[in-house]
A = this chain, B = another copy of it.
Amino acid sequence: MLKVFICGGSGYAGGELLRILSQHPEVVVAGVTSEKSAGKSVTDLFPHLHKYSYLRYEPLRREKIADRADLFFMALPHAESQEAVNFLFQKGRKVIDLSADYRLRDAGTYEKWYKVPHRFPATLKKAVYGLPEIYRNRIQRSRLIANPGCYPTGAILGLLPALREKLIDVTSIVIDSKSGTSGAGRRSEAVFSFCEVNEGFKAYAIGTHRHTPEIEQELSLLYRAGITVNFTPHLLPVDRGILTTIYAPLVKKVTTEEALKIYRDAYEKEPFVRVFEYGSYPNIKNVRGTNFCEIGLKINERTDTLIMVTAIDNLVKGASGQAIHNMNIMMGFDERTALDSLALFP
């Protein structure tokens, strides 16, 4: 049995790791940390996780925990993750970091968007961006995974085949994303209280969201040239799910059917990407609780534009499910293990 540890287990990503791992036959959860909730049991914070009634939050004492597990899931806030990740990695442990701290290859870009310097550039170089659809082989051989952000996951998977096949003009890509409220984390802020979010809908952080450089980094690597995008996140009054609608002018003449074939071919062997038939588009409700990314697309022939729509569950494929997928790859488990259930609908 693989012993895993969760650092930062009191938020939604931590809760979701526990939920999914409860179905994993090869894994045992050795411990879970939280500074604020140290001493409390997991079920105090998450009554639905009653299988973990034996588990109590403890403070993150890095020396103390390093020997208690083989693999560490880090679900700490951005910037707080840097040091603990570095320590555990240096200790020879496997680390999957759900924060943004090891996602941006360029420490300067990290500092520019996250307003703190990166103090472990050597470790940063070892990190592999944990999007299996691009980096499966490297993930397999790596001990440090930077688990992708929720918005980047939906955006990158939506554009990957189009960029590889050079179908689109990359100078004016529009990525219009709509995320469920769990994406904001488990918060005690009036702005995320029920009465403020319910029956509402708004854009936020237009042009300034921190997932922008992460999206641009990966798109640029795919395209082998620098890409800058318009990325606008919106807040949906639902618990879970991100729908991303992407627009890019075509540079090749292809039909919707041909574009769909390109997408299907690109993802043919992927266990967690599903490309839809002509005329069908995804709905976040159909991926709720699952690790799937569902993709539909359409070419608007009146404007010669490729329009892609992707749907994921931000807490699963956009966070904890993808982290466990990465673990499965790293450990040589069947990739689908614990991630094989169908969506809860309705």
Contacts and interface: CB of A to CB of B under 8 A. Distances in A.
Interface string A179-198: 00110001111101111111
Contacts of A203: 243, 245, 281, 296, 309
Given A172-B249, A181-B195, A286-B47, A236 B239 contact: no
Interface in A93-142: none
A238 B343 CA distance: 17
Number of copies: 4
A200 interface: yes
A176 B284 CA distance: 17
Interface in A5-23: 12, 15, 19, 22-23
A27 to B, nearest CB: 15
Nearest to A280: B47
A41 to B, nearest CB: 12
A193 B193 contact: yes
A283 interface: yes
Interface stretch (A75-83, A156-164, A224-232): A224-232
A149 interface: no
A211 interface: no
Interface stretch (A58-66, A257-265, A299-307): A299-307
B178 A201 contact: yes
Interface in A136-175: 172, 174
A300 B239 contact: no
B230 A247 contact: yes
A1 interface: no
A299 B249 CA distance: 20
A174 B274 CA distance: 26
Interface residues of A, number: 82
Given A172-B172, A346-B12, A204 B281 contact: yes
A49 B342 contact: yes
B230 A199 contact: no
Most buried by B among A48, A240, A286: A48
Contact of A48 (B23, B236, B240, B345): B345
Interface in A195-227: 195-204, 206-207
A299 to B, nearest CB: 8
A298 interface: yes
Interface string A33-59: 000000000000011111100000000
A203 B280 CA distance: 10
A283 B194 contact: no
A229 B285 CA distance: 28
A237 B194 contact: yes
26 contacts: A19-B342, A23-B341, A174-B176, A176-B176, A181-B194, A181-B198, A188-B193, A194-B198, A194-B237, A196-B285, A196-B346, A198-B239, A199-B288, A200-B286, A201-B241, A201-B285, A202-B282, A202-B284, A207-B298, A207-B302, A207-B307, A230-B305, A230-B307, A236-B237, A240-B346, A289-B344
Given A181-B195, A200-B241, 13 more contacts: A12-B346, A48-B288, A176-B245, A178-B178, A186-B193, A189-B193, A194-B237, A195-B239, A202-B311, A203-B243, A203-B281, A206-B281, A207-B298
